[in-house]
Structure 1
Amino acid sequence: MADLSITNVKKTYDGKPVLHGIDVTIPDGHFVVIVGPSGCGKSTLLRMIAGLEDITSGTIEIGGIVMNDIEPSDRGCAMVFQNYALYPHMTVRQNIAYPLRIAKLPVAERDKRVADAAKILNLTDYLDRRPAQLSGGQRQRVAMGRAIVREPAVFLFDEPLSNLDALLRVQMRIEIKRLHKRLKATSIFVTHDQVEAMTLADTLIVMNAGRVEQIGSPAEIYRRPASVFVAGFMGAPAMNLLSATVVKGGRVTLDGIANDVAVGQSTLPAGTTLTIGIRPENIVLSTVTGQGLPAIVELVEELGGSRVAYCSLYGSEVAVVLPPGDENIDGSTVWLTFPPHTIQSFDRITRLRQDLALTSATARSKQREDV
């Protein structure tokens, strides 16, 4: 096993930059998930670590050794792909053993490693079957077994669960997490699915447009997003983001409301424009007239353990997570309250987080004051 260091790594295609100076340090044994939308550069970065893409500039080190000019087969990495990449004419045993046969390991050592990997992945009873006789989840476990037997310094996972149905994805997430706890191997997992990212990672790297937006634990990134992008990308349903302005007296009011209702009080100067964010589970919804901001429920999603109400608030859509219940509020007028301590604040221009602690507003329904 080994630590991994990425220093000012850049990548260009035909003169067009796609990675803009990535700096990441991954300690030995950590499970790191790189998450971001399609086209953000996450798979390109993973392939550069594996040696499948050239580095335009910067350095990648594994175990303190610079890997820039080292062949992929000599980097000590094992990669698990989205499409499994199994040989259909080979048995499970032969597929798992294939990299060891190429490396010319003795037969006894090959057999031992294959047996150990099959036991870890619950594949012992399937060793003599061919891929066509396996389920999608079993095929993915075979691909993981082929990586395990190499005993790599670093495991690389390139969206390995994307081809599986919802139930299998959940099962495989659990298996991958258990596998990491057992092997304690340095692992890098790429996905666009923020649920996978949150549930698997020790450390999350959120990427956008070829840049790292934020690095932190899943809890830190969810509770204290560094930018508007991270706030809107991480979470299902996503954080509600609304435009606001500080008016005279420090009251923070939502834009576009004729009769301003303050959602908080700040020490910023009047005229400051903000983007405020609040998680759907932090909004308090009431059916009692006047208890908060009036909104109309346009749609309710029933999720079994919870419900999500999508409300129209002065022309903006606001999602609210509710406990399960039988009350039909679809189409009705409700009142929303934003507890000030749960409101996040972002600079309207830079779109970066502001550590602005809002307090409860004293005024609820004044006409807009001059700023």
Structure 2
Amino acid sequence: MRTALVIGSGLIGTSAALALAARGVRVYLRDADPERARTAAALGAGTAAEPEAPVDLAVVAVPPAHLAATVAEAQRAGLARAYLDVGSVKGGPRRELTAAGGDLTSYLGTHPMSGREQSGPLAATADLFEGRPWVLTPTRETETEVLNLALELVALCRAVPVLMDADAHDRAVALVSHTPQLLSSMVAARLESADETAVRLCGQGIRDVTRIAASDPRMWIDILSANPGPVADILAEVAADLAETVSALRSLDSHDEAKRGSGALGIEDVLRRGNAGRSRVPGKHGQAPAAYETVAVLISDRPGELARIFADAGAAGVNIEDVRIEHATGQQAGHVQLMVDPAAVAVLTAALRERGWALRTQ
């Protein structure tokens, strides 16, 4: 791949352009808002000039509702040898492209499973896709050259290719991406009118659950409008669980011992099913989930403190598998939760205490 045209200078399009440009591909940028294309160009993602000849690959990075029309228009103009999109929904746009008379032989639907709460070219980074799955949905009509160019794009962005059927992909992202976004927003919405005292008690749990609720509503309306059926099906299942859980909690509040016992069993059931589902989420590097233990260290909010902890752990020969920070309310301090192999806990705690760190017992 020597040349590429990226149509759409948002987070995903600009990030892909940055990655390609950094690896020597001549990238042309186009956006319905020329200012966004110029902004992406100023960041080093390519040039906002029009290509003088057909490029090797056109990457369409526009909202799902406009994918099919944009691909069809690019094909009619002969802008590239191959065309792919990076939309979050795959089945519907492909059917729309077929209905619009588009060429499925030169087109491939893809979806990089990466993103951020922020949107727009200024949020883009060249390493956004590194190590992340990038779904490709080829069909029998897809030409080999098109698939090869898509695989080259994925490699240049240092992502991991995953081949899937388009409709299976849409059901999967409804479960692991679209539904979690709505549930996160629903929980965060409860905070809008909450008492200020309650909000000040927010800890790491509520921060984890509501992190993605900061996402751009306009972007998510576009995404959900393109995949409403599968999301509604999953939310219906969640709603059934919610109804049963509410009933179980009401029983726990009863003075009848039998009802209380029944309620406890209902709550235990949903919690255990949650345990089972969580255990299936891939662990580090996509491997099977590993059981880590947590060492919590009191840390002040001063420059260099995290670096000191990591250096001390390294000096003790302990690998930090994961890390989280729990900030204290109203204080310039917090706890760093270091997740390590269980066999390393004793070594790490002894080393950190020897170097003056205060540890919290888990």
The structure whose residues are more often strand, as a share, is 1
The structure whose residues are more often helix, as a share, is 2
What's the TM-score once normalised by structure 1's chain length? 0.28
Query: Which structure's relative contact order is higher, taking Cα pairs within 8 Å and 6+ residues apart?
Result: 1
What's the TM-score once normalised by structure 2's chain length? 0.28
